[in-house]
Structure 1
Amino acid sequence: MRFPRPAIAALVAMSLASPALADVPLPTKAERAVHERALTLDTHLDTPASLVLPGWSITQRHSVRDDYTQVDVPRMIAGGLDGGFWAIYTPQGPLDPASTRAARDYAFARAVAIHAMVAAHPEAFALADKAADAAPIAASGRRVVYLSIENAWPLGDDPTLLQAFHALGVRISGFAHFRTNQFADSSTDAPKWDGLSPAGVQLLAEMNRLGVVADLSHSSDAALDDALRLSKAPILLSHSGCKAVYDHPRNIDDAHLRALAAQGGVIQINSVYVKKLVQDPQRKAALDALEQRYPEHRTLSAAERADYLAQRHAIDRQWPEARAGFDDFMANLRHALTVAGVDHVGIGMDWDGGGGVAGLEDVADLPKVTAALLRAGYSEADVDKIWSGNVLRVLTAAEAESARERAGAATAQ
């Protein structure tokens, strides 16, 4: 989802003795073994933003207390996270040609950064092309790297530009972000298209042709309705939540959960919009001022990064953030499982993009989720579906649709 940096949750460490964390499950040896056996994929990792931080290395263990990052190789190993979909996120800007061209270049640079990470650390990462690639990569001890697009704005007025990103490994693509763009109405902005725009319909068709899974997180309910009606392959909500638990525009209602399941799609539950929280207005004002000084699209120097962190820590000390807890995240996950069914729910926490709750601070804490699911009565087979089976089924279906369309095009020639 990718918040502006000052709006990322202030992930200040809290004691396990805190009442808010009293029910966070500490996995038993048996529960941890189930977690380790599962192929664990998260569908929305905003970690590529960390790759351009000065002096920051994905292979070193960092602390969420110190630099607010949540994903690196040591913590992925500690939390048993086998990999996932690494987001090419572009903050939405003006729709004029010059701005859109700059966004295109920004998005390609982010894709290159992901490829550079894999190339620099072949012992730790491997690019995945097909759904079937994930399990062998994980079995080899490396982390799975699919690419995804959050916000299709960089495609400009040419949906076929998605071909270039597909060649770079993109297998999930969204349409809009916090603001309505040329492809779709955003769930958090005024509508312009009443769903998908004509260009958005073309982009959806291009996704089906290429075998890219359509992601409707951040898009409006009307855009979701259009995608459910028009897509020839199941669709995904890569990092969303449940309105029945927290009535927020970014979350979806039960009727849409059922429609998504009926279409074969999957909702991946995030850890952002899980509970209504009221923040100190002085905190927001201070964070807004910090964002104006260091806008998220800028690459900071080492000195600027150090200053940003110092100011951010000072804000967190003076005006601590109200935070949701582990049980709030699990309430969203359990509700989705109840309404949509275990075949249509997965996990996309939004790490490094605003995700994380008290007791679930970074990827090292992920075994707690498996433990909670097992204690709620879900089987190991259910856990496997939630962690990766469902999203890989959707990706497999997208690949099959692409193969059908290619075969049909060849026959027509």
Structure 2
Amino acid sequence: MLKRMIAGAALMALLPFGAQAQEVPKKVYQLHQRLLTLDSHLDTPASLDLPGWSIEEEHGVLSDYTQVDLPRMKKGGLDGGFFAIYTPQGPLTVEGFRKARDFAILRGVSIRQMVAADPANFTLALEAKDAAPIAASGKRVVFMSIENAYPLGEDVSLLKTFYDMGVRVVGFAHFAHNQFADSSTDPSKKPRFGGLSPLGKDLLKEMNRLGVVPDASHSSDQVLDDLLALSTTPVLLTHSGCKAVYDHPRNIDDAHLKALAAKGGVIQMNAFGAYLRASKPNPARQEALKALFGQLREDAKLSPEKRAELLAKRQEIDRLYPETDRATFDDFMAHMLHALKVAGPDHVGIGLDWDGGGGVVGLEDVLDLPKITAALLKAGYSEADVQKIWSGNVLRVLAAAEAAKGS
């Protein structure tokens, strides 16, 4: 919740769907609706436990900052994706691990409850081959992933519990170093392990054994090096960008892009504005957001009062200190097209970080997704290429992990 509302970019004017649809030629929109479209990183599970919020109802990015719900998925042509169990990084202690474990399990249960509550519209996908028939039936495809392996504590066998729940992709770290791996954005700006820790290497072995895809997003370049060297299956970056376009620790350079592709891996392009380009400092806004973050703590359950307080304060910050220099759709496409040029259309996909800070001017929520298809076609990519980018590549990586189980 706080990850989206506080750390995410402020969201400005949003066109109604009718106006958005007019920006894309009818034939392109129809093609987009025919494609199998998956986003590899949806932080939408953070919304599922909010009081009064239902994924069945259409919400507005201006009213509650959410970017994904069932009606908007249908209108924007998103067939589904990987619903993330995101856990904030906490202390590397027995108590910290216990709290994180419980938080993550509850978040996973929320995803399963979403599916169970509406079998007419959502189906859990456990294998790559599940996606196409689910989408063809008109339902949304629900894969599950973990962002930040911190909740596993120091017991890699706990991964099997999450695997049995439905998790098929796991990211090793988040904003700070943990027990498994170095983060690309740790506040210390110094490595802890110089890549994967010994425990992280054990976790990778368990992932390969179970058929879980290793996700290198948020981890350091050295972690990516270790994953490429040690994993028996291709590596995925579920939501990342290109350092050649904007030099940010969350992005990867061309050498790593080429190495990733050489091993069959895929980079899924994100739309988190702060990772796409530099923006003018807005210290008053940042201080206000920092103060708000200090007042409110993310819990597995958020009371109606806390949610109302959070929304009101965030909206007041947006009114007093508007974000006037936001990244744009063109900035996002610059990263996308660069990755395609360097790695090729077999190794690029889409993971926009919806409901977790993603969203730029012109790409505000899932209603805007047909614009990506239009831009890729305009850039000269074929329908077959666009299908790979929208789902074929990530499903290939998942299928490879499944095929190599036990290795």
TM-score of Structure 1 vs Structure 2, range by shorter chain: over 0.9
Question: Contact 1:207 / 1:214 at 8 angstroms: preserved in 2?
Answer: yes
What are the ranges of 5 or more consecutive residues in structure 2 without an aligned counterpart? none
Q: Say if 2:99 is the partner of 1:108.
A: no
Q: Say if 2:215 is the partner of 1:208.
A: no
| Aligned twin of 2:218 | 218
| Aligned twin of 1:289 | 291
- Hey, what's the Cα distance between the residues in 2 that align with 1:121 and 1:296? 27
- Hey, what's the Cα distance between the residues in 1 that align with 2:211 and 2:22? 38
- Hey, what's the Cα distance between the residues in 1 that align with 2:267 and 2:2? 18
The letter for the 2-side match of 1:200 is: G
2:52 to 52, 55, 58: 55
Q: Say if 2:193 is the partner of 1:188.
A: no
Q: Say if 2:33 is the partner of 1:36.
A: yes
- Hey, what's the Cα distance between the residues in 2 that align with 1:11 and 1:99? 33
Rate the CA distance shift 1:328–1:227 in 2: closer, same or farther, 3 A: same
- Hey, what's the Cα distance between the residues in 2 that align with 1:345 and 1:275? 20
2:363 to 334, 344, 360: 360
Displacement of 1:25 in angstroms is 8.7
| Aligned twin of 1:19 | none
Question: Contact 1:5 / 1:296 at 8 angstroms: preserved in 2?
Answer: no
- Hey, what's the Cα distance between the residues in 1 that align with 2:176 and 2:363? 29
| Aligned twin of 1:231 | 231
Question: Contact 1:5 / 1:291 at 8 angstroms: preserved in 2?
Answer: no
Displacement of 1:298 in angstroms is 5.9
Question: Contact 2:43 / 2:86 at 8 angstroms: preserved in 1?
Answer: yes
Displacement of 1:2 in angstroms is 8.3
- Hey, what's the Cα distance between the residues in 2 that align with 1:376 and 1:264? 24
Alignment of 1:377-388 (within 5 A): 377-388=380-391
Q: What secondary structure does 2:13 align onto? A: coil
Displacement of 1:310 in angstroms is 1.2
> Number of residue pairs matched?
399
| Aligned twin of 2:343 | 340
What are the ranges of 5 or more consecutive residues in structure 1 without an aligned counterpart? 17-21, 406-413
The letter for the 1-side match of 2:133 is: P
- Hey, what's the Cα distance between the residues in 2 that align with 1:278 and 1:59? 38
**TM-score when scaled to structure 2?**
0.95
| Aligned twin of 2:303 | 301
Displacement of 1:84 in angstroms is 0.4
Q: What secondary structure does 1:42 align onto? A: strand
Please give the per-residue CA displacement for 1:222-252, whole angstroms capped at 9, x wherever unaligned: 0000000000000100000000111000000
Q: What secondary structure does 2:103 align onto? A: helix
| Aligned twin of 2:62 | 65
The letter for the 2-side match of 1:186 is: S
Q: Say if 2:77 is the partner of 1:80.
A: yes
Question: Relative to structure 2, which stretch is displaced further, 262-271 or 5-14?
Answer: 5-14
- Hey, what's the Cα distance between the residues in 2 that align with 1:81 and 1:355? 16
Rate the CA distance shift 1:25–1:157 in 2: closer, same or farther, 3 A: farther
Computed over aligned residues only, the root mean square deviation of the Cα atoms, in angstroms, reads: 1.8
Q: What secondary structure does 2:3 align onto? A: coil
Question: Contact 1:152 / 1:174 at 8 angstroms: preserved in 2?
Answer: yes
The letter for the 2-side match of 1:140 is: S
Displacement of 1:14 in angstroms is 5.2
- Hey, what's the Cα distance between the residues in 1 that align with 2:122 and 2:14? 31
- Hey, what's the Cα distance between the residues in 2 that align with 1:123 and 1:13? 33
Displacement of 1:15 in angstroms is 6.6
- Hey, what's the Cα distance between the residues in 1 that align with 2:127 and 2:285? 44
**TM-score when scaled to structure 1?**
0.94
